[in-house]
Each structure stands twice: as C-alpha cells, then as structure tokens.
Structure 1
Amino acid sequence: MFSGFSFHLRVQLRNEKNLLHSLNMRYFSPCLLWISWCYVSQTRAEFFTSIGQMTDLIYLEKDLVKSLKEYITAEEAKLSAIKSWAEKLDELTHTSTSDPEGYLGHPVNAYKLMKRLNTEWLRLESLVLQHTSDNFIANLSIQRQHFPTNEDESGAAKALMRLQDTYRLDSDSISKGRLPGVQDLVSLSVDDCFELGKVAYNDGDYYHTLLWMEQTLKQLEEGETGGVTKAEVLDYLSYSVYQMGDLRRAIELTKCLIAADPKHLRAKSNLNYFNNLLRQQKQDDEESDVESSESQGVKYAPPVDYLPERDTYEALCRGEGIKMTARRQRRLFCRYHNGNSNPRLLIAPIKEEDEWDSPHIVRYYEVLSDAEIERIKDLAKPRVANYGVGGQYEPHFDFSRKEEQDAFKELGTGNRLATFLNYMSDVTAGGATVFPDFGAAIYPKKGTAVFWYNLFRSGEGDYRTRHAACPVLVGSKWVSNKWIHERGQEFKRPCGLTEVD
C-alpha cells in the first residue's frame, strides 16, 4: 500500500454467504473475501508503518520499565538518576497501554516511541552498565531484538513531516501537539525537534531541515533547555538556508553562529565562501540577481516521488476542492433497501446512503459488527495490517487496465467489477478516501462500507475511479476490501450496448 508493496490475504469467513445476502443481492454473489493489507518486508516489518504492530512495542516498553524498577529497588542509593527516568516512563506507559491505538494515533507519540526505544533506552543501557545490574541488563538484552531500528525511527520522523505537508501544519503546532481532535497535548522537546531536523538533513531534505531547525532555535530562545546548543542548530540552519538559495540569510545566520561559537571550525570559512558567492552573483547581474535573491525566501522542494495529481489529492485530504455542489447534493438520498424484495431483507432492510452521484458511490451502514471487526483485526495484526504513522495509499486504480490484462489470470475471475471498502475504525482526523478526478472525499465511519463500480457495463474501465487513501493525522485506520469480479455477475449486471454504459 503506502510502502509501495502489497499482498492479499485470502480469508473465507464462515458466515460469508449470509453477509453477502445482508448487503445487496443486486451487487453480490457468494465469492471469496479479499482483504488488502500493507506489506513492507518479507523478513522484518518496519514498525512505523503499522499502528497494529506498534502496539506490541508499548507492552515491550512497559515490560522494560518493570524490569528497570526491580533493578532500582536493589540499587536505589546508587541509581537515583535512573529511578527518575523509570518513574517518568512508568507514567507514560500506563497512559499508552490503557488505549494503545488511541495513544499511537497521535503521530508525535508514535515518533517519540521510536526515538525512546531506538536511542534513549540504549543510552540508559550504557549508564546502567557502569554498575552491577545483571537482571536488568539481561532483560534489556533479550528485548533488544524487538527494538525499532534507526530506519524505523527515521521512517516515523519522515511520516510526521509527510503529515505536516499534507495537512499544512506549522512546526510549532506539531511541537506543541495542537492537532485536530486532540485533547491531551503531547509536546516535542527541543531535542526531539533537533532530531527531526537532522533526519531531514541526512535525507537531503533542506526544506524540512530549515523548518525543524527554526523550531529548535525558537524553543531554545524561549528558554527550553536540552542536549543541543544554539551553535549546533545554527550550523545546520545556515547551511540549509544556503542550499535553499537564500545567500543573504545564510550569511546572517553564519555570523550568528560565529557569535555563539567563535571557535567553530567551519563557520569562518563558510562565511568567506558565502560572501564570495554573493559578490560573484552581483558581478553577473548587479540588479536582477540581487532582487531575485531577496525575494526567494524558503522554497518547497517537491519530494522525489511527486505525482502531478498530488496537489489535488492532498487538497482533498484537507477538505479543500471537494466538487459537491448544492445542486448535486439534492440528488443524494438515504433509503432502506430490501434487495428487490429479497426475503432476507424484507424484515431488516439494509441502510443505504448516496455519497456521490456520478460515478455513483453508496455507503452501507451496520455492515460489520464489532465482533467481526475484532476477529479480522486479530487475523491481520501478525501481518502489519493497518495504516501506521502517516500511512497513505497513493492514487491508484482497483481494476486492471488494458496493458495489465493478465493481472487476475490466476484467479480466473475476470477483472474487478466493483469495490466494497469496509471501514473498521473511526478516525479522529485525516484518513479520507479521495477521488482526485472528480473531487470526492469519503470519510471513515466504523462499521460502514462504501461501494462503487470500477467498470462500465461494457467492461471498459471507469478511469474516474482512480482513488487514494489520505494519511491518518490523528487516530488509527483499519480497512478491508472486498472486490467483486466479473465472473458470476453476468446476469446480475448485463453488458451495456455502448462503451460508457
């Protein structure tokens, strides 16, 4: 999915036939339930890609805290600093384990969990090794095999920055935990902000380096203390500004760096280099280049995987650019549907609501019970099976296009005629399913499902149905797909006479 890879887990539910009848007999016939899951690596899953997988880390961290507290009991006199650390973590893990998915639904919590387990616990290990701590070290050594890696921590940081871009969040709001729908604010320390900036810097992403180093500097100037100095921040900041093309500001920041640390090894040579570049720029064109330099400011560099439709896609994720006019809204209705007098639905008709007129998208209510949802989640958790921090699914088609004629050959079921997308969780903020071509945004509602046709009656693909899953800003998103294929539907949906029937 968002990781670029996918696989399909084939699950035959015992009550599948009854479930199909309870939905809409016009659309479905008994067929296998296919659930789309994200897959990252065949050998080792990346923790940051799945909230479901990361919940195990919360309990792992709680176990480490317990082991640490037992060690402190034995050597409390010598380990007062470690005891303070443990008490802080004890309180944190009590909160996180009370609602793991809700806790990890806040991207700052997810990032800080990665940072703690990948960096800070290992620092603690080094401190403990200075003393007799056999029991704790033994437990920590055993648990270390389950710890996130540098790649996991970096991935969580990049995901946080992806959310920042998609939802146009300023660094200060993220640092203070001010996100939509969030009541308990979780803040980023000055060291956290600095580490985010370093992740971006190491990735050659000077735009985000600038944003997070500026935030680090802001928090330092507000009086917050940490393990980073002003000179260290200015070092990264001045070079990033230079890379962004703002020579004048790079010079000013380098002067500030020299003032903060007169003995800095590179600062004076950098200042000379920047001044020489500026003089050369003036010589090339004394006026036009100067004006251009002054007006450049901070520029956003599109990511390497930038898609032409990304602007439209991300605008829809933010709730902008939705093309449902008042006139079109009047065409949408809610109804009870009995499957054309299907005996199973006469007494308890299904609740049906129009979400979009053309192409027609319908939402069904009370599709999966809580028990069914939990069963599917239990089956899926060992596979990294829900959207993680900043998890998204880039714009794609569900059907096989002409150049992909053999995509479903092994199934022998024909192309994907229609999609039935189950939402198995509510999402506090973000996580919409969007259709960039016609400007629709469909939001998750637990227990509901949305249905649309991928093919016209003629069998031609409806290219308007290209869709994407927006990254989850706050919360945890669980979905499952049922794809209805062409075979077995010939009499339920006869072929049309024209290409776009």
Structure 2
Amino acid sequence: MKFSLLFWGLLAVSVIHQTAAEIFTSLQNVKQAIRVERDLIDHLRTYIGQESERLDDIKRFFTKVSDLHAQLYESSAAATTNPLVAFTLIKRLQSEWLNIVYSNEAQENTQAFRSSFEKEEAERPKVEDLRGAAKGLMRLQDVYALQVSGLVRGRFQSIINGEAVDVCFPRVSVSLSGDDCFLVGKVAYEQEDYYHSVQWLEEAVRLFRAAGGQWSLEDEGTLEDALDHLAFSHFKTGNVTYALSLSHELLHHNPLNGRVLQNIEKYEKLLVAAGPPRVDGLKRPSSTYLRTRQVYERLCRTQGSQPMHFKNHQLFCDFFSNNHPVLLLRPVRREVLSLQPYVVLYHDFVTEAEAEGIKKLARPGLRRSVVAAGEKQATVDYRISQSAWLKGSVGSIIGKLDQRITMLTGLNVTHPHGEHLQVVNYGIGGHYEPHFDHATSLSSPVFKLKTGNRMATFMIYLSSVEAGGSTAFIHANFSVPVVEVNNDRIQPLFLTSGEDEAAQDEYEIPAGLNYDRKHLKQA
C-alpha cells in the first residue's frame, strides 16, 4: 500500500491557459478588477478636467458674443455703420464660430480617454464574467433562500416564520439599480430560466418606474426593455393575465411596437379560449443534482445534525500526538466530528502568516478549476473556483506543511507518493456541488494509470468568510462551517473519502475563501 496526495475533485487539475473571462471564478481576480476600475477613475478624472476646460472656453465665447449683442446690436442701430464692429462680426461668423463648432479638441479628448480605456481591455471583465457573476447571485439566492427584494437593498434576508430576517451582516454593501436587476434577470431569461427572470425583472421594473422611466447614460436596459422581458417571462410561467397587463403598459410607452400588439392579441385569445388560467406560482428549474439539492442547500444554511453530535459519546476532543516525538511535548488539539465518515478537526495547525505566504505563492498560478469529462477535463457551472498547484520546492513553508501533515496522519505525503499542494480560491457564489472525492467509475484514468484511488482529504482553511463556506456531508446529514482564525492560528479538517458524497459550500457572502487541500490515496 502506498499513499499519495490529490486535489479535491474527480481528477487532478492541470494548469490551463487563463483568459480574462475568468474574473467571476475567483475573488482574488475580483480584487484585481478593483485596481482596474481605480485606474479608469483616474482616466475619467483627466477626461472630465479636459472637457471642463473646453466647456469653459465655450462658455467664455458664449459670454463674449452675448455681451456684444446686448451692448451693440440691440441697443444701438449705429453699430452696423461702424467698420470695426462690422469687421469683428464678419470675423466671428467666418472664423471664430467655425473654430468653436468644428474644434478637434472634443474629439482629441474623447480619443485620449478611449485609448486609456482600451489599454485596460485585457484586464477588464468580459461578457462571460458578467453572466457568471449574475449566475453567482442567483446561486446565493437559491442556496440561502435569500429574498431578491432584500438583495436589491443590499441586505441578505430570508423569510423565517413569515418575516424577512437578516441572515448576514456584511461589513460593506451596496444597493442595486434597475439596470443591475435587469441584467441579472436578462441572464436568467436568456437561459429560459423564468423562475429567476421573473423575480429579478420585477425588481427592475419597480426601480425603473420609481425613477420615472428616466434613462441614465451608463445603463443598458430601460423600463420598456424590462417590461418586455418580464411580460414574456410571466407568459412562460403560465401567468397570462399579468403578461397581458404588462404588455398593455409597454404599449403605452411604445404604441407603434407591432410585436407587442401581436402578443396582446395572442394573450387575449388565450384568455378567451381557456378562461383565467390557474397560476401555480414559480418553480425552480430542474438540476442535475436535484436528488440531493434540498439536503445540500439545507446543510449550507444549517449544520444539520452536527449541533447534536455532543450526545454521541463516541465523539470526543483531546490532545493528539500520534505518538510522534515532535508532538509528544506539544500535542495538537483534535476534535472528532464524525466517525462515519471519519471527520476530524485539528486546531491551531497553521499560522496566519504561513497562510498568507501560501496564498502569495499560489496567486500567480491560479487557473479555472476543471472536472473530469471522460479522459478529458472541462470547466462546469457546478464547480466555480480557481486552483493552483504548489510543489514542496516552491518554498520551505510547503515542505514544513507536508511534514506536519505526516506527523498527524502517519502518511507519507511527499512526491512521488503524494501530489502537490492544491490551493483553491472561490469566486462570486463559488461552490462545488455534491460529489465523491474518489473515482467511482472503473473507466476513470485513475485506474488506468494505476496511481491508486483516493482515501482521505486534508483540507486547510486559509481565510474566513462573513457567511457560508461550509463543507456539507450529504448522506451523513451534517456540515462543517468555516473555522475562524483564532490567535493567528488556522484550523485544518481531515476526512476520509469514499464514505459520503461531500459538497463544497463555498457560497460566500461576500468575502473570499481560500483552501489548501491534499488528498491521500491508496493503491
């Protein structure tokens, strides 16, 4: 029997080329996007200053010409007989007005601003990032049963006993605009996910109405756009009556829209033919993980049966040395959380300084996490994160970490007996849905390569989150929340594989979460 270390997932993740459209998959990249916008703010400040100077010149010219008309042409008929006055009038009309109207200064200022903006293009989010971020918000909404009306106001609320209750109090937050809500709803709409599109577009319409339908220069959507998408979303969910009402409102804003007229005619015929339809309410779209989704999400919101584990006398806390000479005088605090599967929490294992050092080493190598797709690897929506491999030779900190793991587990975790350390950073609504750590198919490359299947995981929390971040054990019906940093020390979680379907509930609200993971496997 031999032991080695593997990454949390179906297969070890290889380094793939990173594109700019990966920002939403890692909050480390979101932090970098903040720097990009700061640079753009500086460019915009320069542009505003240049345009202000240009407009000041135009205002000065306007004042000069207006004053001349007030003083000369309107008050004295003799002005037309004065050759000096006539000359300056002709010069202004033939030269000065042309210089003002056809000035290249505005174009030069705009071009300079655009050039500065385009230099940041490689670092700016792509359309895929916007869609991914919107999907992340919808995942948070679902998993934590959050109210869209609360999210719009910058609050994370769930309905508990019929009342909206804050389930998270982030240190900073923002409210969303009508255009923000429209874009989230539009992403759902384009996926034919009308469950989410209705909720977000309802808020978009409400906010656009509250603004009097006024359009801002930076907005993509309008009240008419939101009404159009919302009406069709309600039609697709069976609420034809409300779809008709919204279409009439849309027609009021755009009376010549032939498509809306056709929709109104269609809805009216449906209502006449079938009568007022029964509306059963919104239903969430199906999921490939529908079998475990309810349990998974409940464990993300609660700890399941864990709060009652203290009643199990087979579970305990102690000071553990594993009979290793180094640990005999300084044993590690061990908390046995579960026997089936075997899950242990070790306290004060890594210092905060070491955690920061690991994250610093990992940042340059972070790439989109993938999963096995046959003998290939692919990115998927049910796993949103970025990963990086760290060899023991990268820094002494990695070697020391390997030694510590060996002391606690008695397993040889160094290469080639073990794979390299894996660092994972989760993005907006980042997660890894229910999955087995070990390979379950005999066609898996794990068996073809004869490297052995996974038997255990050693997972280290490198940072805390304001909410979320649990690891859920679906069949064992409990979850382990993120363990906060105490006294500059960080806690790892050791668990055996093959006995439960685990899920990474790295749904974060809103801070980032980093993990170190090592998988132990046997041949």
TM-score of the superposition, structure 1-length normalised?
0.71
Letter in 1 for 2:236: Q
Larger radius of gyration: 2
Asked if the contact 1:368–1:448 (Cα under 8 Å) also holds between the matched residues in 2, the reply is: yes
Q: Give the letter for the 1:350 counterpart.
A: V
**Percent pairwise identity:** 33
Aligned to 1:278: 271
Aligned AA (2:181) = C
Letter of the 2:205 partner, please give it.
L
Alpha-carbon spacing, 1:413–1:315, altered in 2? closer, same or farther (3 Å): same
The question of 1:448 aligning with 2:425 is answered: no
| Aligned equivalent of 1:247 | 240
Distance 1:234 1:357, change over 3 A: same
Residue in structure 2 matching 1:367, options 341, 349, 353? 349
Say whether 1:423 aligns with 2:461.
yes
Deviation at 1:265, TM superposition (A): 2.9
Which has the higher mean CA deviation after the structures are superposed, 139-148 or 361-370? 139-148
Match of 2:195 among 170, 182, 207: 207
2:342–2:495 Cα contact (<8 Å) kept: yes
Q: Distance in 2 between matches of 1:165 and 1:391?
A: 13
| Residue type of the alignment partner of 1:389 | I
CA distance in 1, matches of 2:169, 2:247: 40
Contact 2:468/2:509 (<8 A) preserved? yes
- The amino acid across from 2:516 in the alignment is S
Kindly indicate whether the alpha-carbon contact (under 8 Å) linking 1:234 and 1:253 is maintained by their aligned counterparts in 2: yes
Question: CA deviation digits over 1:161-188, x for unaligned, max 9?
Answer: 1111111111111111113131333111
Quote the offset at 1:50 in angstroms. Answer: 0.7
Q: Is the 8 A contact 1:181 1:474 kept in 2?
A: no
On the 8 A contact 1:430/1:471 being kept in 2, the answer is: yes
Q: Is the 8 A contact 1:356 1:440 kept in 2?
A: no
Q: Which of 40, 43, 47 pairs up with 1:67?
A: 43
Contact 2:456/2:495, CA 8 A, preserved across alignment = yes
Gap runs ≥5 in structure 2: 57-104, 157-167, 368-386, 388-424
Tell me what 2:83 maps to: none
State the TM-score, normalizing by the size of structure 2. 0.68
Give the structure 2 partner of residue 333 of structure 1. 316
Q: Residues 450 and 212 from structure 1, CA distance in 2 versus in 1: closer, same or farther, beyond 3 angstroms? A: same
Partner of 2:519: 483
- Name which of 271, 278, 301 aligns with 1:318: 301
In the alignment, which residue of structure 1 is the partner of 2:19?
Answer: 44
**Structure 1 residues 239, 320: CA separation in 2 closer, same or farther (over 3 Å shift)?**
farther
Pairwise CA distance, 1:75 = 4.0
Match of 2:281 in 1: 297
**Matches of 2:465 and 2:13 in 1, distance apart?**
18
Note if contact 1:191-1:226 (Cα within 8 Å) is conserved in structure 2: no
Hey, what's the Cα distance between the residues in 1 that align with 2:308 and 2:496? 22
Alpha-carbon spacing, 1:366–1:239, altered in 2? closer, same or farther (3 Å):
same
- The equivalent of 1:4 in structure 2 is none
- Quote the Cα distance in structure 2 between the aligned partners of 1:353 and 1:346: 18
Aligned: 1:161 with 2:154: no
Query: What CA distance in whole angstroms lies between the structure 2 residues aligned with 1:65 and 1:424?
Result: 32
1:265 pairs with 258, 264, 279, which one?
258
Contact map agreement 1:50 1:387 (CA 8 A) in 2: yes
More strand by share: 2
Change (3 A) 1:441 1:70: same
Once residues 60 and 229 of structure 1 are traced to their aligned partners in structure 2, the CA distance between those partners, rounded to angstroms, is 27
Question: Is the Cα contact below 8 Å between 1:35 and 1:480 reproduced in 2?
Answer: no
* Cα distance in structure 2, aligned partners of 1:312 and 1:33: 27
Q: Match of 1:484, SS?
A: strand
- Aligned positions of 1:77-476 closer than 5 A: 77-78=53-54, 130-133=107-110, 135-179=112-156, 180-223=168-211, 226-227=215-216, 228-282=221-275, 290=276, 293-303=277-287, 305-319=288-302, 321-322=304-305, 325=308, 328-340=311-323, 342-382=324-364, 383-384=366-367, 385=387, 386-401=425-440, 403-404=442-443, 406-407=445-446, 410=449, 413-445=451-483, 446=485, 447-454=490-497, 461-462=498-499, 464-476=500-512
How many angstroms does 1:244 deviate by?
0.7
Distance 1:41 1:413 in 2: 22
Segments of structure 1 that go 5 or more residues without pairing to the other structure are 1-27, 81-127, 283-289, 455-460, 488-501
Cα displacement string for residues 172-208 of structure 1 (whole angstroms, at most 9, x for unaligned residues): 1111111313133311111111222222222222221
The alignment yields a C-alpha RMSD, in angstroms, of 3.0
- Counterpart contact for 1:362–1:452, Cα < 8 Å: yes
Query: 1:469, CA displacement in angstroms?
Result: 3.1
TM superposition shift of 1:74: 4.0
Contact 2:306 2:479 (8 Å CA) reproduced = no
Q: Structure 1 residue 53: deviation in Å?
A: 2.0
Deviation at 1:435, TM superposition (A): 0.9
Q: Deviations over 1:115-163 (max 9, x none)?
A: xxxxxxxxxxxxx974435554433222212221111111111111111
User: What is the match of residue 91 of structure 2?
Assistant: none
Between 128-137 and 200-209, the greater mean CA deviation after superposition: 128-137
Equivalent-residue separation in structure 1 for 2:314 and 2:325 (angstroms): 29
Structure 2 counterpart of 1:415, which letter?
N
The Cα of 1:48 is off from its aligned counterpart by: 0.6
Q: Which amino acid aligns with 2:463?
A: S
How far apart in 1 are the matches of 2:6 and 2:475? 28
Letter paired with 1:269:
Q
1:344-393 per-residue CA deviation (whole Å, 9 max, x = no partner) reads 01221111112224322110112222232222212322223310001111
Q: Which moved more, 1:170-179 or 1:225-234?
A: 225-234
User: In the alignment, is the contact (CA less than 8 A) between 1:258 and 1:268 conserved in 2?
Assistant: yes
Task: Look up the equivalent residue of 1:161 and give its one-letter code.
Answer: M
Deviation by residue 1:40-85 (Cα, 9 ceiling, x = unmatched):
96352511111112222221222222233334444433479xxxxx
Cα distance in structure 2, aligned partners of 1:433 and 1:298: 29
Contact 2:4 2:519 in 1 (8 A): no
SS at match of 1:146: coil
- 1: distance between equivalents of 2:340 and 2:509? 29
Offset of 1:428 from its aligned partner? 0.9
Residue in structure 2 matched with residue 53 of structure 1 by the alignment: 29
Using a 3 Å threshold, how does the CA distance of structure 1 residues 452 and 320 change in structure 2: closer, same or farther? closer
